[in-house]
Amino acid sequence: MFRRETSNVKTGRIGENLACEYLVGKGYRILKRNYRQPWGEIDIVARAPDNTLVFVEVKTINNPGEVSLLPEDEASASKIKKLKRTCEQFVSKFEELLDEKRGWRIDLVAIELRDQVPTIRHYENIY
């Protein structure tokens, strides 16, 4: 069965691609994308330049007329809690990716597609 891609899914995919480009430009190495479990999903798993394992939540908005809503507003406490659980499961399953000296963290990459040039904000260690 053919499924049409919704505008939200398309916006999310664009945001994740932009986030990966941004992170690679900052010296990160992308390890995995869209890691799914029944209780949650990790958008991006990356290795930071300092060797820390980083789980990245990407929030993207594409509302040219709406300036009061920010992508950060979509990162609710309950979503972050589910993400943390998924990250803990990932670390236990892929222990070889964890540098014991550096550990792991959760970052948020917020992207606004309001103008021709996207606005990208990176928040480290949000949890």
pLDDT in single tens digits along all 127 residues of the chain: 444 557 778 888 999 999 999 999 999 999 999 999 888 999 999 999 999 999 999 999 987 666 678 899 888 888 999 999 999 999 999 999 998 899 999 999 999 987 778 999 999 999 7
pTM for this model (two decimals): 0.89
Residue 119 lies in a domain: yes
Strand spans (E) along the chain? 29-37, 40-47, 53-61, 104-112, 119-123
Residue 1 lies in a domain: no
pLDDT in the model for residue 67: 64
What range does the domain containing 117 cover?
Answer: 7-123
Residue 36 lies in a domain: yes
How deeply is 66 buried, as exposed, middle or buried, from its count of CB atoms within 10 A (0-12, 13-18, 19+)? exposed
For residue 72, the Cα-to-chain-centroid distance in whole angstroms is 12
Residue 2 lies in a domain: no
For the chain, what is the domain count? Answer: 1
Query: Which domain CATH number covers 50?
Result: 3.40.1350.10
pLDDT in the model for residue 64: 61
